[in-house]
Structure 1
Amino acid sequence: MSDRDLKFSEASGVSLIGMAGAGKSTLAPLLAAKLGWRNLDTDLVIEAFYGRLLQDVVDYLGVEKFRETEDEILSTLGAIRTVVSTGGSVIYGARAMENLQRLGPVIYLCIDCETCLERVGKGDGRGLAKDPEQSLEALYNERVPIYERYADFTIDTDKFSSDECAEQIAQWLKSIQE
């Protein structure tokens, strides 16, 4: 849980962060429906910007340039009454994360490493922003402390169904509403 002064209202947004396979793209529309909001997948925004699939964008730009580009694009994102589903690498962009925090609460969808490896496999075609020689397990271990640092609320998505996760998040949001 973060220590920042958290405000949530109808003019807020909510951002989902977490590893590939944590359920961000699955959970975002479910949570949005519960809240009566829209959902936005930032990977699709990046794909639309480049007119390419995300993995092709990562391959084209390289990991470092991709992360810089993701930071730039998401640092200018504006959204209210929207559940924002982010790419797993968004946490490397300080400006993007500051912007997402301005939009509203940041929810960390947590899964254990074993579940991540089962769901993602080698990550082929997923648009993972990692160095080719880096294992998925090493990437997981690198990112978890960063996700935890930015999280206002954490939910273990490998321990509950998607519907249960959406309901728990909605209840938490209701509990912090202004």
Structure 2
Amino acid sequence: MQPSLLGRTSDERCVSLIGMAGAGKSTLAALLARRLGWACLDTDRLIEATCGARLADLLARLGLEAFLRLEEDVVAGLSVRRCVVATGGSVIYGPRAVARLKASGPVVHLDIDLPTFLARVGDPGERAFVVPKGLTLAGVYAERQPLYAAAADLTVVSCGVPPDACVEQILQGIKP
């Protein structure tokens, strides 16, 4: 076994995808997992399964702060290896969650530009998109971009790039 990007063997790590809603985290996680022969976890789906409700409903019922704590708890509680993790876009607000992802293996920021984000996110309520009071969608984008960059071991631009090409970039970026 060869060491990975972060000094772990490939059998002892996972790869986590972070980024804005609409960046392609779920799609690329599934493709990357298939290429690696690993499992794929989607934290949004884990939250829904754990709580028995859609993310939009949970966010409406719990409120922003409680939802963010729930998301952080789910990610911080992951016990994974040999998997690709697609995270929710707001995971970046949870320091425990970010620390857990970084400790598990490389963190890849899937970056999209603002116009692509705005076109893909549509109605934030439909996607359970977290918009803190007083911010616009563009404001959330601006607030999160440096947080994603700081947490990431690798950044891959995913807008305007075919999914298979993004997966190749990720694979090349996380190679030892």
Match of 1:6 in 2: 6
Give matches, 1:24-173, under 5 Å: 24-131=25-132, 133-173=134-174
CA contact (8 A) 1:66 1:129 kept: no
SS of the residue corresponding to residue 125 of structure 1 reads helix
Distance in 2 separating the partners of 1:133 and 1:49 = 30
CA RMSD, Structure 1 to Structure 2 (Å)? 1.3
Identity, % of aligned positions: 47
The offset of 1:76, in angstroms, is 1.2
Distance in 2 separating the partners of 1:172 and 1:153 = 7
Distance in 2 separating the partners of 1:91 and 1:12 = 20
The offset of 1:78, in angstroms, is 1.1
The offset of 1:92, in angstroms, is 0.6
Matched positions, count: 171
CA contact (8 A) 1:37 1:82 kept: yes
Distance in 1 separating the partners of 2:106 and 2:45 = 21
The offset of 1:133, in angstroms, is 5.0
Distance in 2 separating the partners of 1:59 and 1:103 = 31
SS of the residue corresponding to residue 11 of structure 2 reads coil
TM-score (norm: length of structure 2): 0.92
SS of the residue corresponding to residue 124 of structure 1 reads helix
1:83-106 CA deviation, whole Å, 9 max, x = no partner?
Answer: 000000001111111111111000
Distance in 1 separating the partners of 2:74 and 2:43 = 9
1:31-86 CA deviation, whole Å, 9 max, x = no partner?
Answer: 01111111110001110111000111111110111111111221111111100000
1:147-170 CA deviation, whole Å, 9 max, x = no partner?
Answer: 000000000001311110001111
Gaps of 5+ in 2: none
CA contact (8 A) 1:39 1:83 kept: yes
CA contact (8 A) 1:34 1:170 kept: no
SS of the residue corresponding to residue 172 of structure 1 reads helix
SS of the residue corresponding to residue 15 of structure 1 reads strand
